[in-house]
Structure 1
Amino acid sequence: MAHQFLVELGTEELPPTALKHLSKAFVQGVEAGLKAKKLSFDSVKPYATPRRLAMLVEGLAESTPTETIKVWGPPAKIAFDADGNPTKAAEAFANKNAIALSELKSENDGKIDKLVFSKTAGGEAAEDLLADIVATSLANLPINKRMRWGASRTEFVRPVHWLVMMLDNRAMEGEILGLKAGNKTRGHRFHYNQEIELLNAADYAATLANTGKVVADFSIRQAEIVKQVNAAAQTLGGTAVIDADLLDEVTALVEFPVALAGKFEESFLSIPSEALVSSMKEHQKYFHLVDNDGQLLPNFITLSNIVSEDPAQVIDGNERVIRPRLADAAFFFDTDKKTTLVAQRERLKTVVFQAKLGTIFDKTERISRLSKLIAEKIGESGTLASRAAELCKSDLVSNMVYEFPDMQGIAGYHYAQNDGEDAEVAQAINEQYMPKFAGDELPATATGSIIALADRLDTITGIFGIGQKPTGSKDPFALRRSSLGALRILVEKEYDLDLRELISAAAENFNELSNTNVVDDVITYMIERFRAWYEEANISAEVFQAVSAKGLSTPLDINNRVYAVAEFSKLAEAQALAAANKRVSNILAKMDHKPAETVDHSLLSETAEKALAEKLAQLEAKVKPLLDLANYTDALKLLAALRQPVDTFFDDVMVMTDDDKVRENRLALLQKLRQLFLEVADISLLAVK
């Protein structure tokens, strides 16, 4: 018989940014516990509000399945002596399984005869197991810091107040976190702050909604918020910008959402919109509105946790709260504009970037030199790149960034415009931190791309240079993210730049670095970041290894080769040629000398070796122009035609013949074959092991 199991833990308000994650982990823990006990179930429905974590398990089995288990003992020849009497080994096995010696039996386990005891396991009632399963899941929740309350030694993320555990229409017995289970939940803190008796587990969500004024389902509550926010925005003639993280947080703050629209003075729109959005989003949890052109409107939408009899008062309160924040932003912005970025930059001389690597001012000097080098290499303005690099960190000491840290770069962009700097310099200051995360946009301007690249390379080189490369768990300077960002810029902007040259130049900009292998270490580290990149693109590790085996250091070139090899690996000829290359590689590796660089055609006697030599010569002439253009995809497609002559060669020709000259000539032919493929990658690494 299938049952419905309801569990709800009532708490003080849970951390809003963690609620969704806690709910998911709670459900996963219970599911894992049920599966570990072999208790079958159909589905689990999660519920989560600021004051409760709950779930409803549908189709739960009444008990664990019964099964016969064979317990194997010592071999029969050890269990009994020559006269057939039980030995101490047999006595120990009997005592362990609580059976009489006369009940001992032996059976063949597929190899030898052993003592065996068959027993029935399972059949445990689900009701007897559920409390422990729930308790274990709660104990394993990802809570960074647990708290205690009152005189109790019980610990949880927040104080707990009630516990519901029901099987169908009856309350279960049990105790978790010092609370005795029952069938009484509680309603909304303001609208129905009293106990509610649940008559049936299946009615949990409906009872809370109808009686308790609580929308228990996180996803339903979130959908209702989106609906209300969009409706309010439409009434105001705008579009609400609904950030996913903010939406999750707001959903975790209310049990009965009510969207309310407010406004602020249009004069505040003279402030950079990013500062206004930051004030509304980060500090007040408001959704902002934009018009059809994407311009910020002087309105916001907030979520209330109550249905107010006088919503105008609630709106007025929210407007009075946001007004001082916006006034502060306006003051900071106006004050900062009275000082130029050039003047602000002088203050960076007292701001330490890293104790062994100098100040932020020193960093801008290094970025400037490296940016100028990069600009010259890709045919862009070194003057603009150098200027943008010098000013790119000046806004870090501004009042605006001090109050709104996420305005870094953005504030600098506005101040550069105010100072009359070149438009591209101003834009580059804004773009220097792009991409900020995986999938983020790259800088739109060449100058922005250059200083974003130079900044990252300077940081990575400096940190590696003082021996503080990231470990598995610690990456305080976000070097992994910086490396991926730099690689994306180089590849997606199609900058044909050699990392070795850039890292060497970056290293020379430092007065002294303790790590003498810094260039090689940084290149190895950065190129290795490609591995995860290609995994996400569903390109096999073998393809990346085939290219990385060449020890290249130009990311754009590496990327082109990887995609070319990935396409080659899909061809029908790929595996045979990979295996052949591996065979050739093994043969050549055993040689104590290098074969000749040229093939003596007068020594070719076998039809198969002549055919291979002829085909190699034909393809070499066709492939070389493609390789010169870095057209690796078409080059490998042409080389796929070598499969038949290579297969025939290995079938018909003995390479290691007794004739020294013929042997050496055949080795030279194989080396020529291998070198032709190695112009692109070591495809021997594609061979199936």
Structure 2
Amino acid sequence: MRTENLLIELGTEELPPKSLKSLGQAFATQFESALLGADLQFDTVSWFAAPRRLAVYVSQLAEGQADKIVEKRGPAVSAAFDSEGAPTKAAMGWARGNGIAVEDAERLVTDKGEWLLHKAHVPGQSVTALLESLLNQAISKLPIPKPMRWGSYTTQFIRPVHTLTVLYGSEVVNLTALGMTSGRTLQGHRFHGEARFELDHADNYATALEAQYVVADFQARKDNVRQQLEDAASNLSLTPDYNEDLLEEIASLVEWPVVMQASFEKGFLDVPKEALIYTMKDDQKYVPLLDSNGYLSNQFLFVSNIESQDPSQVISGNEKVIRPRLADAEFFFNSDKKTTLASRLDSLDSVLFQKQLGTLKEKSTRISSLSGFIAKQIGADETLAERAGLLAKTDLMTHMVMEFPDVQGVMGKYYALNDGEDTSVADALYEQYLPRFAGDTLPQPGVSAAVALADKLDTLVGIFGIGQLPKGDKDPFALRRAAIGVLRIISELSLPLDLQTLVSKAGEVYGDKLSNKEYKQQVVDFVLGRFVALLQDQGVAIDVIQAVSARRPTEPADYLARIKAVASFKQLDEAEALAAANKRVANILAKQGDLVSGQSVNESLLTEPAEQALFSALKPAESVVENAVKTQDYSQILTTLATLRNDIDNFFDNVMVMSDDEATKINRLALLSLLRQLFLTTADVSLLTKA
């Protein structure tokens, strides 16, 4: 069967830059799904996306479906003929529906009986006949939250569509979609290219557009922008400050990227660099430049969509655009410094944190109290922690943060230093929001960690305390992020803090505002649940996590220490046998546990050499475990218990636990209970699977 390459392009007005990549990927995914559903053979499906176009390219697409033989089973032979062998109405109706006579039907014989059968030959449809339906099917499933109408069209799309190009090789496939009739017309670059031109062959799509100053391949355009930025910055011995999100947004704004260099007055550098960077990147999509010490340069880069014959005019225009924004930041900064953060505290009473939980001022008071409590637990300065907690949200009332919300915390630090606050207080105002995302840095141990924990715990306990638990993907107060932040701070900084204690203290600070009586356990379980996900993301085996989680340790640092110890234990030669033995012991005790409740081992009742040997080995192990628990040295505990393998194996090989003598049986169960409890000081190793 003949194959050709297929090109479909929707030529539009400028598409939303933040959605461009996802639209391009979705278009390819949905169209591929439609092709598969139609049983059309092809090699690969790739996508193109530029500000004024979405396209899919299908390589080696078959010219049609393969013919099929469809088996249509009829009534059972016993019901298809009467006693005289004449066809029944059921048989004749079925045959008529299939366009055959009853006598032309084949027979299908199975172990359950015999049926009439017709093997119908169904010819495949051509790709040209199918494409309109498949294209419209794919378009209807694109992620478009707010479709729009345009002109006199009744169809809807994310932006007005002006051209529809559908080429199967060099052949135009005639179809209609989004109110447009297909052709071979494409849009060139808005300024450099032809308004309309014709494409001769699907294979020439990318090269034909490039001749019209359009880089249609999203990834190629993104890479082009990246390389130009790096080269331009390197020429200045500076480093471009951008992330992948900004790079993708810039690539979604231009069809023919041209990187240019501009500058602003050095006097603006007196403003905190974070505010300047925010307005350059978020408002203007410019790329700031940093020197080797991380200081902001007054030079910056921007990406133009035109190759100007007079670049100085384009550069001058962009410098004029950025200047008022930087001037605003400068004005806000100088104005804000005239009022101390402490004097803004009362203004927080005018901002609601949450209707049932009170204002931001009330939250600040709670954070202050909880920060002091945590600081005392971890050996930090309690007074400074309380001060930082009290001022934590005051920068939200400054002009700078109101204008540029993303610099909250950052500006708090600058203003606190300007007010003469202690440096640890100033650092805490910024670091209270850390970590902000996966892999982000943590607050410094001490005052900053105390305030960061207090802020997150206050939100967690408050929202759970009024029964507004996150459901599905709805998490308006970012409780999952707060929980992960709490875990990372405590565990990675090895802070001696217990979640139950912290949650109880946070609830106590709320007073009578909390209506959900179950919040304490719910919050602890929620946070520990995030620990499971966090550890899985780090590559920890699920059975190791389950073994530790079964003990429900509520000190994150302790939890992590157990995880590391169990992961190491699992690699030992003895681990598999000991896990099996623990499982066996757990099953025995589950059935007989009531008999040994409160019982200790009576050495005089140990008559078998194997049980005497196990008890003799357990006594020194018990002492090691007792001392190691105090220092959370779980590796030593499990290493010590691993030496018991031979004694445990001998016990089960030579001792009948369920002795006819009741006292002997209870004593042996008590011995197993002692063994089990020693292992459970670290984890339930019976849940471990083979390494």
Task: Please tell me the residue identity of whatever aligns with 1:669.
Answer: L
CA distance in 2, matches of 1:159, 1:515: 51
Which has the larger displacement, 39-48 or 606-615?
Answer: 606-615
CA contact (8 A) 1:582 1:687 kept: no
Mapping of 1:108-507 within 5 angstroms? 108-109=109-110, 112-121=113-122, 123-210=124-211, 212-507=212-507
Tell me if the contact between 1:427 and 1:445 (Cα under 8 Å) persists in the aligned partners: no
Name structure 2 gaps, 5 residues minimum.
none
Measured after TM superposition, the shift of residue 517 of structure 1 is 1.8
Q: What does the per-residue CA deviation read over 1:431-465, in whole Å, with 9 as the maximum and x for residues that have no partner?
A: 11111111111113521111011100011111111
Q: How much has 1:83 moved relative to structure 2?
A: 5.5
Deviation at 1:586, TM superposition (A): 2.4
Q: 2: distance between equivalents of 1:561 and 1:87? A: 75
Assess if the C-alpha contact under 8 Å between 1:218 and 1:251 holds in 2: yes
> Deviations for 1:204-241, whole angstroms, at most 9, x for unmatched residues?
1111111x221111122122222222333334442222
Change (3 A) 1:592 1:224: closer
> What CA deviation, in whole Å up to 9, does each residue of 1:620-647 have, x standing for no partner?
3444333332122332233234444434
Distance in 1 between residues matched to 2:214 and 2:227, nearest whole Å: 17
Q: Quick one: which amino acid aligns to residue 64 of structure 1?
A: Q
Task: From the superposition, tell whether residues 594 and 241 of structure 1 become closer, same or farther in structure 2 (CA, over 3 Å).
Answer: same
Question: Is 2:378–2:446's contact at 8 Å kept on the other side of the alignment?
Answer: no
Aligned to 2:641: 639
Q: State the TM-score, normalized to the length of structure 2.
A: 0.94
1:612 is matched with which residue?
614
Aligned to 1:599: 601
CA contact (8 A) 1:428 1:445 kept: no
In 1, the alpha carbon distance for the partners of 2:543 and 2:84 equals: 63
Q: Contact 2:379/2:446 (CA < 8 Å) preserved in 1?
A: no
Q: 8 Å contact 2:41–2:62 — kept in the other structure?
A: yes
Partner of 2:525: 524
Distance change (3 Å), C-alpha of 1:83 and 1:653? farther
Q: Indicate how the Cα distance of structure 1 residues 586 and 213 shifts in structure 2: closer, same or farther if over 3 A, else same.
A: same
SS of equivalent to 2:165: strand
Say if 1:391 and 1:429, in contact at 8 Å, map to a contact too: yes
SS in 1 for 2:9: strand
Q: Match of 1:581?
A: 582
Q: How far, CA to CA, are the matches of 1:260 and 1:662 in structure 2?
A: 88
Match of 2:688 among 661, 686, 689: 686
Match of 1:650 among 652, 656, 666: 652
Provide the C-alpha distance between the structure 2 equivalents of 1:674 and 1:607, rounded to a whole number of angstroms. 20
Q: Secondary structure at the match of 2:380?
A: coil
Q: Which residue of 1 aligns with 2:22?
A: 21
Q: Give the length in aligned residue pairs.
A: 687
Query: Which shifted more, 222-231 or 355-364?
Result: 222-231
Q: Which amino acid aligns with 2:36?
A: K
Q: CA deviation at 1:111?
A: 5.4
**Aligned in 2, Cα 1:189/1:677: closer, same or farther, shift over 3 Å?**
same
Quote the RMSD (CA, aligned, Å).
2.2
Work out the CA distance in 1 between the residues paired with 2:627 and 2:65: 70
Counterpart residue identity of residue 163, structure 2: W
- Specify whether residues 609 and 159 from structure 1 end up closer, same or farther in structure 2 by C-alpha distance, changes over 3 A only: same
- Match of 1:533, as an amino acid? L
Structure 2 Cα separation of the partners of residues 456 and 73 of structure 1 = 67
Contact 2:445–2:493 (CA<8 Å) still a contact in 1? no
Task: Give the Å deviation of 1:27.
Answer: 1.0
TM-score (normalised: structure 1)? 0.95
Moved more, 80-89 or 554-563: 80-89
Alpha-carbon distance change, 342 to 671 in structure 1, aligned in 2, over 3 angstroms: same
Q: Superposed, which structure 2 residues align to 1:1-12 within 5 Å?
A: 1-12=2-13
Name stretches of at least 5 consecutive residues in structure 1 with no aligned partner.
Answer: none
Tell me how far 1:524 sits from its aligned partner.
1.1
Report the counterpart of residue 660 of structure 1 in structure 2: 662
Residue 476 of structure 1 aligns to a residue in which SS?
Answer: coil
Runs of 4 or more consecutive aligned structure 1 residues displaced over 6 Å after TM superposition: none
Offset of residue 99 of structure 1: 3.6
CA shift, 1:597, in A, is 3.1
Q: Deviation per CA, 1:334-372: give whole Å up to 9, x if none.
A: 000000111011211222111111111111111111111
Of 149-158 and 558-567, the range deviating more from structure 2: 558-567
8 Å CA contact 2:216–2:255 kept in 1: the answer is: yes
Deviation digits for residues 482-526 of structure 1, max 9, x if unmatched?
A: 110111101111112111111111101113111122211111111
String of CA shifts for 1:62-104, please: whole Å, max 9, x gaps: 3334454444455555555665555565456545544432233
Partner of 1:55: 56
CA contact (8 A) 1:466 1:514 kept: yes
Structure 2 CA distance for partners of 1:633 and 1:128, relative to 1, 3 Å: farther
Greater shift after overlay, 25-34 or 592-601?
592-601
- CA, structure 1 residues 671+451, in 2 after alignment: closer, same or farther (shift >3 Å)? same
- Could you say if the C-alpha distance between residues 592 and 48 of structure 1 is closer, same or farther in structure 2, counting changes exceeding 3 Å? closer
Please list the CA deviations of residues 570-602 of structure 1 after superposition, one character each: whole Å capped at 9, or x if unmatched.
444434333332332222222372415322233
Local SS of the residue matching 1:593: helix
Counterpart in the other structure of 1:106: 107
The question of whether the paired residues in 1 share the 8 Å contact of 2:544 and 2:563 is answered with yes
